[in-house]
Amino acid sequence: MSGWWRRGWRVIWEREAVVFGRWEMALMRLLFALVMFDAGSKLVGWARADAGSFNARWGQVEVIPPVSSFVAQPKPHGLAVVLEKVSLDLAFLGDPSMAGMVYVGFLVALGCYVIGVVLPVALGVMFFSLLLHGTFHNSQGSIHHHLQLITCVVGIQWIASLVAVCRRGGARTWLALDGSSENRLVNWTQQVIVAAYVVSALSKLIISKGGWIWDAPWFGIQLAKAVDQDYYDHLRPGTETPAWLPDWLLENPWQARGLFGPALPLEFFAFLALRNRAMGALYAMALIGFHLTVSSLMSLDFRYNVQMMLVYFVNGPFWLWWWAAGRRRRAAAYARER
């Protein structure tokens, strides 16, 4: 038994310089492109027999709308402030023909990305489309957090592809990255995803002055707000939060701390997911569980986080391959023994 424990501990704790196979990285590109289509949520909708919305939204990229619903940028944000100083207004994205052009450009770049050709150009187009769209969205007077991580991931992949071109040079690298460069691209992607959780944990510590877990019972007030807001979207209850939960949290502070407190260390130690494949998969599953719980309680949208975790950390196809290869090895050893 102790041997099993030791082996299990080694599997999840030993540092491993993960080398991804070419097929794995190609599959990751395809799956990440599907994340842009929000394929995961669409499939869940389809499984829940919401075929209407599945059919209507299936072909549409979710991160870049073909037509923007905003007409102006009342409160310029980030890059929009800089562009405004040189008389450039992102409101052109509200013009259907311009939004359509950006959309088509994004689609073409996404196609190249999936095939794995001209990645420095394709990722550049994707990054700037997302950057402009996200900045325009955030220039409406409220900051949103659903596109940040996906834009950072595309941005770091673009930088990784440029680094590969600088290091290796040559038209061949422009056309297609070699294995080690693409491996670095995936590793940097993982680091960016993990960074978002570490930042979130540090923000919690800084803003709450270290008292986040102690203050957790007051989460009841935020929960009540989230439930009410969700109700006013359609005038029907939308979250799965029981009506008694917000008051219960306020009345039972220690239980509230025990229930929500673990979220902070879970986020803070997210960098452990970079230790090796097994740890990455296990940690990602814990974070996915955390996201799904928060989503069902507060109707918050973590769909891209969950899908990116599945693609870059859980990496189901690898484990299937690993299991199948192990079976083949055992069968061959058994045949040799006989």
Partner 1 sequence: MIRRLRTLGSFVVRLLRRLLAHPRYQVMAVMVAAALILGDRLFPFSSFPMYAGFPDRTHYVYLADDEGRPLPMHDFFGYRTTKIKRIYSNEMRDIFRSLKDSSESEEGDEIKLHTMTEEQLRPAGDATLRWLVANDRRRKQRKGEPLPALRLYHVDVDRGPDGRLRRTARWVGSYAGGVS
The correct pick among 49, 86, 171, 235 for binding partner 1 (CB under 8 A) is 235
**DSSP state at residue 252:** -
Site for partner 1 in 4-33 (CB under 8 A): 15
Q: How is residue 306 written in tokens?
A: 């969950």
Site for partner 1 in 37-96 (CB under 8 A): 69-72, 74-75, 77-79
Site for partner 1 contains 207 (CB under 8 A): yes
The correct pick among 83, 140, 253, 286 for binding partner 1 (CB under 8 A) is 140
Residue closer to partner 1 (CB basis): 57 or 115: 57
- DSSP states of 89-138 as a string? -GGGGGSHHHHHHHHHHHHHHHHHHHHT-SHHHHHHHHHHHHHHHHHHHH
Site for partner 1 contains 181 (CB under 8 A): no
Of 20-28, 38-46, 112-120, 149-157, which part binds partner 1 (CB under 8 A)?
Answer: 149-157
For 10-25, b/e burial (b = at least 16 CB within 10 A) is eebeeeeebebeeebb
The nearest distance, CB 308 to partner 1, in angstroms, is 14
Q: What's the CA gap between 186 and 29, in Å, rounded?
A: 10
Site for partner 1 contains 185 (CB under 8 A): no
The correct pick among 43, 167, 251, 324 for binding partner 1 (CB under 8 A) is 251
Site for partner 1 contains 322 (CB under 8 A): no
Q: What's the CA gap between 272 and 66, in Å, rounded?
A: 39
**Contact between 240 and 230 (Cβ < 8 Å):** no
For 173-198, b/e burial (b = at least 16 CB within 10 A) is bbeebeeebbbbbbbbbbebbbebbe
Q: How is residue 176 written in tokens?
A: 């297609």
Site for partner 1 contains 138 (CB under 8 A): yes
The correct pick among 51, 88, 143, 176 for binding partner 1 (CB under 8 A) is 143
Binding residues for partner 1, per CB under 8 A? Answer: 15, 69-72, 74-75, 77-79, 130-131, 134-135, 138, 140-145, 147-149, 151-152, 155-156, 187-188, 191-192, 194-196, 198-200, 202-204, 206-208, 212, 215-222, 224-226, 228-230, 232-235, 246-247, 250-251, 271, 274
